[in-house]
Structure 1
Amino acid sequence: MGDGRGTPLYLRSSSAPMVGRDAELTALLGAVRHPPSAAFVEGQAGMGKTRLVTELAAAAADGAARVVMGTCQPLADPFPYGVLLDCLSQCGDRLDAPGPVTGALRDHLPELADRLPPAPRALGDPEAERHRVFRAVRELLRCLGPTVLVLEDLHWADEETRQVLRFVLGNPPPGLSVVATYRREDLTTGAPLGHAFHVPPGVMGVNLVLRPFDVSGVRAMVDGLVGAAATSVPFAEALLSATAGIPFVVEETVRALPDPVRDVRADGAALAGIDVPVLVADAVRDRMGTLPVAARSIAEAAAVLDVPESVDILAAVAGKAEAEHLVTLVECGVLVEKAPNRYGFRHDIAKRAVRAALPGPRRWELHERAVAVLSTLDDKPVARLSAHARAAGMTGEWLRYSELAAEAAEGAKDPATAVDLLSEVLVDPGISAADANRLATKLCGYALTGLPGGALTARVEALLSDPRLAPDVRGEVHLWFGLLLQRETGEVDRGAEEIAQAIDLLGDQPERTVRGMAAMAGPYLGTASIAEYQASLGRVERIIETLPTLALRTAMLATTLGGRLIVGDPSTWDRVAALPSPSDVHDAEEIHHLARAHCNLADACSWIGHYRRAREFLRTGISLAEQVAASYVVGTAEATAVRLDWLSGRWSGLEQRIDRLVGNYANLLLTADLNLTRGWLAAARGDWVRAEGAFLAAAGTQTFPVGISAAGGMAGMLLSRGESVAAGEHVERGVSMLRRKGAWAWSGDILPQAVDFYLAGGRLDAARSLVAETAAGLEGVDAPLAWAALAGCRAALAETSVDRSRLYREAIDLHQDLGLPYRATQLAELHEGDSPTDTAVFDALAQSYDSLGATVDAARCRHRIRGTGTATPSRRGRRGYGTELSPREQDVARLLAGGHTNREIAQALFLSRRTVEEYVVKVRRKLNAPSRHDVHL
């Protein structure tokens, strides 16, 4: 019930703060401060009329006028002049010489009897008596002096009150202001005073209509309720959809949340789990109780149908109503026209309240009618028919429509919905074994085409305990469950166990197990050596030609080709020819597997250094995947594209893309790949806190190329900071992984850091031994990145300056030919040595780093120039940035926002502590940040 911050919303001690009505309040204050005046405030129930006039009363209380408030009551037979007499009875202390005519009110106002003149002699004419009362009310109001008369809920007023108000406002006392609120839908006539009323000359008139809040208004109101500016935009959007922006419903819904202070910061999912707020439910029941029976039955049908429907369908499902009764519901605001000839409740909470109040038999009856009516449509809404059939207990129809709806969802590229539909049916013990086996097989197929996640994978896992499944179907469930687990972070070994179990159960059906065999032969997962995996791949490849369908053969090739290429097997290029051409595949399943094949090849190319080919495979793979909305395939392709853009120096906007993709694919193995790129990028910018977190997250994966590269990235960052001992732990871990797997094709992201580490510690022999071992391991291996990295390491180990220079130039050329500008620039810097003599060279290197966004490297080059006593050239832009951040201030601000200390910033940017302190002051001033912790970019 909250986390201790703010006021617990379940203790109702006051109204919500007023938001979004400043203009209306200003208009009302303008009217009451310039009497005589008449202001009418229109708004549906819950729109905040009472809150507005309460604020008006508080704001007007400090003036000369007396504020008097009264509320009309929803009585079947209202008392004549009831609300006016209630108000006047409060004003005895303000009466100033009431005239003789006011005596006509002595019997109506016993509280004022001792201050009013005697009652006049009866006239005997009812109309004359009524006129005398009207005059007495106006005279009594005049005697009160400056007065603001606030009358709420005028729609419930008696006719005499409306008429006397018309009479008074036709010639009002000079100090009188009348403010009246009303609901137009509840007026018995078309206007609040019975007939159209126009204020006479000399009287200020104001007419306001209170509208529902938009997203910003909802957000502001929720912030006021929880006592902090914490409401997320997604939550405000979800709340607007549920409440139609009606303030009363917004407030009650927020109060009904389990933990409002926490929940409003999230995405709005908590709204689906709350009960209808009690006060809202009461208000809805009151409204429904005033409706004629036939109209109420249409409203009940609308609540059960759940989506806006046409007049004919609503009337048919209601069963007791004619279409014209819908007019009553629209006139009184229960239903609104959501689209042309489509009517539904104004907001979801009201709909839920009506549905919840229905007795069980009535609810079942309406669901049965909904099935009968909707099933006659030419374009049958199968998903809705499934839901209605289930709610009506129509098991056969529920199964049939669920299966049709799942097929439709899969056709609409929404496999998650297809899985949900079939899962709900499968948990029913009344479904036959034959149906359960058929649906389980379909469900697994749908699950594998979408994005796995905790809920979806759990659906498949739950099938394993279903006693109705035949052994072969259970084997397939184990297979699909294992494949799903292998896509999820940290579940690789468990996935392999499930696949092994599936192969045991389906051992005599190789065409059904070959996909699991291919998955277990993936060389980048598990602890077996590359040689062992290649043997497994060979066994799978011998089966491929025997497979009965093109889709199944392509599915196997998608795994085996990528598996061969990622370890640098040069025979892969000939094998790629076995893939069908994109123009030759038309079936959705074939397109899906061909997309996966191209994206897997792109990923393999990106790891071993064939970057141009990687982009070619990626373009084709993404195009195919988007045709069939293969979400997981698109996700892997996007992760590969991010890594390719990092390698090729396309860093602009890369961090934002990584954040978006990590959010989209939070439960997938590919997030480790994204974290690796995030770490590389953060390290180059000196954001070591973020880089360390990203590298460690990537290192925890069971995907070996990612784990090895993360070890190299972490080691390189630590070495740049002079933390050799800490770097050594990561070097040894990465090199150990290389040796254990025998995967020298993946050495490009660890070998340079390992050699740097050994040389920094004076271990020349260890460095030479590792380079020799890598060269031997790369014999016959197609891995351009590893070969280029090996060339750079040989340059670092060269014994003569001539050899060193030649080998560095060769390494630089190799990296440039591969399209790796950052690594090529780093090698060029190493080529120049640690003691620059030509400052122009290092200035050019700094500019190259700047063009990439490599903050640390650029700062290091400028620091070296300063070390020569030469002024650092300034080519970073114009002088005098005013209130904007300079490029260097942006670097400081970004590191501040990342939580770095002044010492860390100084180290990253090669500045003195004093200089950093000066930059921090400037950044805080320009960003109006009270402290360094308030700096955000």
Structure 2
Amino acid sequence: MTTLLRTGSPVFVGRGPELDALGRALGSDGAALAVVEGEAGVGKSRLVREALNAQQDHTVLIGHCQPLREPFPYGAVLDALRGATLATVRPSAITGVLRPLVPELAHLLPPAPEPTGDARSERHRLFRAVRELLAALGPATLVIEDLHWADSGSRHLLRFLVTDPPPELTVVVTFRRAEIPGGMPFGSACRPPDGIPSALIALRPFDVAEVRALASAILGEDRVSAEFAATLRERTAGIPFVVEEVLRANPTGTALEVPALLREAMLERLADLPITATRIAQAAAVLGVPETAEVLGEVAGLTHQRCRTALTHALGAGVLREVGECRYGFRHPLAQQAVYDTLAGPDRHELHIRALRVLRTREPQPLVRLAEHSRRTGRLAAWLRYGEAAAEQASESGDHATATDLLQRLLEEPDLAAEDVNRLAVRLGQAAHVGIDQVDPIATLRRLLGDRRLATAVRGEVRLFLGMLLIRQANDLAAGRAEVELAVGELTERRNLAVKGVAVLAQPFLGSAPLEALLPWMTQLEEASATCEDGELRMSLLASQLGARLHTGEARVAESLAALPDDAATHGEQRQLARAHCNLADACASIGQYEWAGQLLVSGLRLAVDCGAPFIASTARATRARLDWFTGEWSGLRERCTRLLDEYHDLFPVASELSLVLGSLAVARGEWDEAARWFSATGVAQPRDAIGPVAIDAFAGLVRMWLSRGEPDQAVRVADDGLKLLRGKGIWSWSGDIAPVAVTALLAVGREHEAYRLVDDLETGLSGLDAPLPAAALVTCRAQLAESRGDRATAIALHREATGLYEKIGAPYFAALATERELVCRVDAGSAPVDEELSALADTFDDFGATRDAARCRHLLRALGGGKPSRRGRRGYGNELSPREQDVARLLAQGRTNREIAEVLFLSPRTVEQHVARALRKLGVSSRGELLT
């Protein structure tokens, strides 16, 4: 059997504790032993290489054991000795024994002694000679790779060296425990003398995060999603070498094929097996999942005794492994695929037929597996029967991804009857709409619209599902609305389906369509929900209607909730009730009803999870993140949003809202590039394909960013775009975030008249609406206008009023910003000192994690001649990073220069330089480059 060729990863991923343990052994002043174990391809050699790279002034000798049928005695050790060099110390006479065995060193060694004629004596002299030569090298490291392939002589020699090592020799061996009888690398129990450090380092496969880091390094930054990394981890079992080979064989990462080297290695293993063991492995490949010996034998067509012998051979060769209790399968799916590919067509067909016979007798029947074996044998009727039953079972259990996949594959069959196509197409749309797997179903539904077998009555329903799925995709919202509108026209004879499309078209948050154009759809929706007698459909319509009305500020939360039942009679009604709660929560978060939003999210998410509605749950989690931004619950929010984005990156309404939160957090920290990147993912460049309130708030975040950077001209250009969208929509209940910063930008560039016009429009637009956040924003806007005309007393009073309103609705960050405006206004008015209040406000911003805002307050405090410590007092941080040093280190890690850090934190370059030096020292790194690494 041939070892797999190591191609090497561009980065060293993970293995921090293991690398430290090996480094301690290699860094020992005297003798030491390190044993590194792990399966093939797990990274043993890479770990050793990384550790050796960190060592200096050591002679390093490396020997490799080979999987030869007749290994050369002591071959690995003697091979390593060929790299030895002797500078000043002349080895003792006994080392002459090595002259004929290591001719490369003959000129350095004394003459060979006369043979003793006794094999045992000769072996002992050889062992002593090796030890003496290694001792003469001084500080040295002997590395023996793949000890599981070593001959017994090499193991005995290494055991001799380990039990009585030269004073400055470190021995490092790598091996696979599963391939050594008894699992002992040196052939028997062995340990170094007392006082000599030793380390046993067991390497495990990578987890999903490590696979993702490795794949990102190979494919390029930001190209690897968590979903792809999870799939890659599943198919490769997290074995680094297999991950590398899969991605190198397919650099785009669009498919996971069996790498050529892995295929060749598996073929060589099979070639060394008896035919019955190969047959067992092929049966396991056809079955696809770990199975008992009885099932493997029955599918392979072997008697019990022959099956047992064959299985033993397959296990011993590492082709199969025991997985769980008495079940046997492959280490990873790629190994299974490599064996499956060795089967000729007739043999493969016969094994699938036998698998069908065996699995049909099980109770309950494994429907997905039966469907797959039926498909592989070309039995269309059985494939359709089992596949559709499996999809239904998956949907009922909440596994909509499996249902979607099965239905799509069934619909790829060219010989399906028209009635089957129509039935399966509708089921696919239903499964995809409830689940979160959107991209592939969209392609299938589009194809079906051009299928002649699709009945006219079904076409509108398929188009409706297609439109609803397109709305969830980036840059497809307008196209999705158009498809839904077409579907409504095609479904005139199926009123219950048509009103579902009406409910979609009535949603005010979709795209840039003005509220005025949506009112007819909203009216139709209200009429349909009032007359609908179907319980589930009525609940669905209410969920759409109440959320839409609350978004516009025309309804009150309590009234909306009163229209909903307390519980649901059916599974479908529960899903729609969950949707109603989550829709109302989303609307509450947009208009400033934060207490109601929190309560509705708790109930809505519980209902969604209970009934298996992953898409509804995804929207609730995004709304929760945005609500936490508004209410100042920022601890861990950035990490949570990033994790959710990994999971829901294909769902634009969810991903855009999470991106909005991440952009807003970045602005508060002064991370301009990050903020711009996240805001660009919200749809601000194409409002017609964006989620209205999300895009408007993203414009607000961009205005705040440009104002913070001291670029009012850029800020006002963005404000104009945001106000254009807001005015075009005509939904002033979404103005709570953008209005104050837009007024600031307009006043900053001397466009006072337009600032006054905006406030007038805001007052008119909010009249009679229930929208607490815009109501507080309106007061802030009035305060800024009072400032601009020099009426500071009125401005101070209005800012203070705005602070109270923000606090009342539970928006502490906005309250802090209003307080800052009041304090600045008081400073300009020359009123009583504000030093203590500014210092406390800086602490408040620090509590949020709003680095930039806190720094701005402290900068003003210094300008006023204050700079007093906060009410919390100061403390010594020792070797821990102070809060300012943490800010500096975070910005350093983003590649910021000292000047850029100074601008973000309102510090002098000299002060930043001092913070940088302390931060690097406390972090234990010597340079910025090392910190970035």
Q: What are the equivalent positions in structure 2 for 1:750-761 lying under 5 Å apart?
A: 750-761=738-749
1:428/1:615 CA distance change after superposition, 3 Å: same
Return the offset for 1:777: 2.0
Select 2:737's aligned residue among 734, 745, 749.
749
Matched residue type, 2:736: G
Q: What are the equivalent positions in structure 2 for 1:385-404 lying under 5 Å apart?
A: 385-404=370-389
1:470/1:910 CA distance change after superposition, 3 Å: same
* Mapped pair 1:324 → 2:314: no
Return the offset for 1:74: 3.5
- Residue 817 of structure 2 is matched in structure 1 by 826
Select 2:429's aligned residue among 436, 444, 449.
444
* Mapped pair 1:685 → 2:669: yes
User: C-alpha separation between the residues in 2 aligned to 1:679 and 1:50?
Assistant: 42
User: C-alpha separation between the residues in 1 aligned to 2:493 and 2:280?
Assistant: 59
Select 1:767's aligned residue among 718, 731, 755.
755
1:476/1:873 CA distance change after superposition, 3 Å: same
* Mapped pair 1:557 → 2:542: yes
* Conservation of the 8 A alpha-carbon contact between 1:72 and 1:154: no
* Mapped pair 1:892 → 2:897: no
1:726/1:67 CA distance change after superposition, 3 Å: closer
* Conservation of the 8 A alpha-carbon contact between 1:605 and 1:611: yes
Select 2:679's aligned residue among 695, 699, 703.
695
Q: CA deviation digits over 1:728-780, x for unaligned, max 9?
A: 21222222222222222222222222322333344443333322222122222
SS at match of 2:329: strand
Higher Cα Rg: structure 1 or 2? 1
Select 1:791's aligned residue among 768, 779, 786.
779
* Mapped pair 1:309 → 2:291: yes
- Residue 614 of structure 1 is matched in structure 2 by 597
Return the offset for 1:450: 1.1
User: C-alpha separation between the residues in 1 aligned to 2:38 and 2:792?
Assistant: 86
Higher mean displacement: 662-671 or 757-766: 757-766
Q: CA deviation digits over 1:111-151, x for unaligned, max 9?
A: xxxx9999xxxxxxxxxxxxx99689769979999799999
- Residue 248 of structure 2 is matched in structure 1 by 258
User: C-alpha separation between the residues in 2 aligned to 1:806 and 1:253?
Assistant: 63
User: C-alpha separation between the residues in 2 aligned to 1:678 and 1:143?
Assistant: 66
1:441/1:915 CA distance change after superposition, 3 Å: same
Q: CA RMSD in A?
A: 5.6
1:774/1:424 CA distance change after superposition, 3 Å: same
Matched residue type, 1:308: P
User: C-alpha separation between the residues in 2 aligned to 1:567 and 1:288?
Assistant: 68
Q: What are the equivalent positions in structure 2 for 1:356-505 lying under 5 Å apart?
A: 356-505=341-490
Return the offset for 1:259: 6.1
Please give the TM-score of this superposition, normalised by the length of structure 2. 0.77
**Residue-pair matches, total:** 861
1:242/1:477 CA distance change after superposition, 3 Å: closer
Q: CA deviation digits over 1:696-716, x for unaligned, max 9?
A: 433234222222222223223
* Conservation of the 8 A alpha-carbon contact between 2:503 and 2:522: yes
SS at match of 2:328: strand
Matched residue type, 2:286: V
- Residue 917 of structure 2 is matched in structure 1 by 921
* Conservation of the 8 A alpha-carbon contact between 1:10 and 1:256: no
* Conservation of the 8 A alpha-carbon contact between 2:41 and 2:242: no
Select 2:659's aligned residue among 675, 679, 696.
675
Return the offset for 1:408: 2.3
Select 1:780's aligned residue among 764, 768, 778.
768
User: C-alpha separation between the residues in 2 aligned to 1:189 and 1:935?
Assistant: 44
- Residue 643 of structure 2 is matched in structure 1 by 660
User: C-alpha separation between the residues in 2 aligned to 1:236 and 1:422?
Assistant: 25
Matched residue type, 1:820: A
Return the offset for 1:576: 4.0
Return the offset for 1:931: 4.7
* Mapped pair 1:883 → 2:866: no
- Residue 812 of structure 1 is matched in structure 2 by 803
Return the offset for 1:809: 3.7
1:899/1:461 CA distance change after superposition, 3 Å: farther
Return the offset for 1:316: 1.5
Select 1:862's aligned residue among 858, 861, 864.
858
- Residue 103 of structure 1 is matched in structure 2 by none
Return the offset for 1:367: 0.7
* Conservation of the 8 A alpha-carbon contact between 1:676 and 1:706: yes
Q: CA deviation digits over 1:85-110, x for unaligned, max 9?
A: x99xx9xxx9x99xxxxxxxxxxxxx
1:839/1:658 CA distance change after superposition, 3 Å: farther
Matched residue type, 1:786: P
Q: CA deviation digits over 1:873-903, x for unaligned, max 9?
A: 3446544323322112222333333444444
SS at match of 1:258: helix
User: C-alpha separation between the residues in 2 aligned to 1:919 and 1:42?
Assistant: 43
Return the offset for 1:435: 1.0
Matched residue type, 2:297: A
SS at match of 1:857: helix
SS at match of 1:357: coil
* Mapped pair 1:624 → 2:607: yes
User: C-alpha separation between the residues in 1 aligned to 2:290 and 2:724?
Assistant: 63
- Residue 98 of structure 2 is matched in structure 1 by none
1:350/1:774 CA distance change after superposition, 3 Å: closer
* Mapped pair 1:596 → 2:579: yes
Higher mean displacement: 690-699 or 228-237: 228-237
* Mapped pair 1:847 → 2:847: no
* Mapped pair 1:728 → 2:721: no
Matched residue type, 1:312: E
User: C-alpha separation between the residues in 1 aligned to 2:694 and 2:800?
Assistant: 29
* Conservation of the 8 A alpha-carbon contact between 1:684 and 1:857: yes
User: C-alpha separation between the residues in 1 aligned to 2:882 and 2:926?
Assistant: 20
1:27/1:290 CA distance change after superposition, 3 Å: farther
* Conservation of the 8 A alpha-carbon contact between 1:72 and 1:153: no
- Residue 288 of structure 1 is matched in structure 2 by 270
* Conservation of the 8 A alpha-carbon contact between 2:258 and 2:334: no
Higher mean displacement: 444-453 or 715-724: 715-724
* Mapped pair 1:275 → 2:258: yes
Matched residue type, 1:549: D
1:401/1:637 CA distance change after superposition, 3 Å: same
SS at match of 1:872: coil
Return the offset for 1:621: 0.8
Please give the TM-score of this superposition, normalised by the length of structure 1. 0.77
Matched residue type, 2:834: V
* Conservation of the 8 A alpha-carbon contact between 1:452 and 1:487: no
1:40/1:71 CA distance change after superposition, 3 Å: farther
* Conservation of the 8 A alpha-carbon contact between 2:35 and 2:201: no
User: C-alpha separation between the residues in 2 aligned to 1:642 and 1:274?
Assistant: 38
* Mapped pair 1:300 → 2:293: no
Matched residue type, 2:635: S
User: C-alpha separation between the residues in 2 aligned to 1:421 and 1:568?
Assistant: 43
1:720/1:275 CA distance change after superposition, 3 Å: closer
User: C-alpha separation between the residues in 2 aligned to 1:860 and 1:890?
Assistant: 17
SS at match of 2:323: strand
1:677/1:219 CA distance change after superposition, 3 Å: closer
* Conservation of the 8 A alpha-carbon contact between 1:72 and 1:83: no
**Identity of counterpart residues, as a percentage?**
40
1:243/1:143 CA distance change after superposition, 3 Å: same
* Conservation of the 8 A alpha-carbon contact between 2:540 and 2:576: yes
1:838/1:661 CA distance change after superposition, 3 Å: farther
Q: Which runs of 5+ in 2 are unaligned?
A: 10-14, 51-56, 83-90, 95-111, 135-141, 167-171
* Conservation of the 8 A alpha-carbon contact between 2:838 and 2:861: no
SS at match of 1:339: coil
User: C-alpha separation between the residues in 1 aligned to 2:796 and 2:22?
Assistant: 78
- Residue 525 of structure 1 is matched in structure 2 by 510
Return the offset for 1:506: 1.3
- Residue 873 of structure 1 is matched in structure 2 by 869
SS at match of 1:835: helix
